[in-house]
Structure 1
Amino acid sequence: MRALGNILWHFPFLGFLNALFTYVLGLLLTVTVVAAPIGLGLMQLGKFFLAPFGHEMVASKDALPNQEVNPTWKTYSTVIMILWLPLGLILAIATVIQVVALFITIIGIPVAAALAKTVGTMFNPVGKVCVSSEMAAEIRRKAAQTQLAVN
């Protein structure tokens, strides 16, 4: 079913172009060094757009909990994220409009559901990674166990 969804995403709806543009934009932003946190997130989003069925975008701190983050990089990423906010808001709204338009067509409903998963990443791509759906489910399960242990 995932393969059929990915084929549907790429051929009638040209998802590979979306993946290419997002990845190239992320690469260009990363090369500028100034916008590297956004560029890295957009490159992960481009990777997600290659196969949206069977993958999810999660926060890197959840996917890689043992990885130490430099406090300077974290502060810099926060500042860049605040600067990205207006453009991210526009991209998120455009994605929501695209999702609504796809929901109008019957064949576009699965594609709209996959695209709807990216709205949060469009709004804030900093610190997001593309992982398989199984890994995302495991991350959610561990977070739920931690929440239960705290309560």
Structure 2
Amino acid sequence: MTEARLEAGTPAPAFTLADKDGRHVSLADYAGQKVVLYFYPAASTPGCTTQACDFRDNLNSLAAAGYQVLGVSKDQGSALQKFADEENLNFPLLSDPDLAVHHAYGAYGEKSMYGKTVTGVIRSTFVIDESGVLTHPLYNVKATGHVASLRKKLGLDA
């Protein structure tokens, strides 16, 4: 079963998750700021590494435009710590082992993988404005080239 997809203009579901160091991070911590919240299947896998490094390499320009990047996976904190250290990731990685936040955002469900229908994490990105409203809910994004595509959608490459 696929979760209901969120639409632009709806409030972003609130959450509190532990980061790689076990500190609690809430969406409410970023009230008044723009957030890029992205869900990825697993730390230290090829596609997820490509995507995370793409965010890392574009973090300064995203931050200059007022965006805070948060990555979410089902990985435990120790795996997130290793991933962040290996790839020099400079933004929070959050652990959602019970998939509650994945489900709230519709980022878990049926997807096509190598021609087969499987159930798992749907690579997704959500742009949330300063008032906590979704402006760009993006499902089934590609790991490669995603940040460039996102920058275009946000009007950052004018």
Structure with the higher fraction of residues in helix conformation: 1
Look at both structures and tell me which one has the larger radius of gyration over its CA atoms. Answer: 1
TM-score by length of 2: 0.26
Structure with the higher fraction of residues in strand conformation: 2
TM-score by length of 1: 0.26
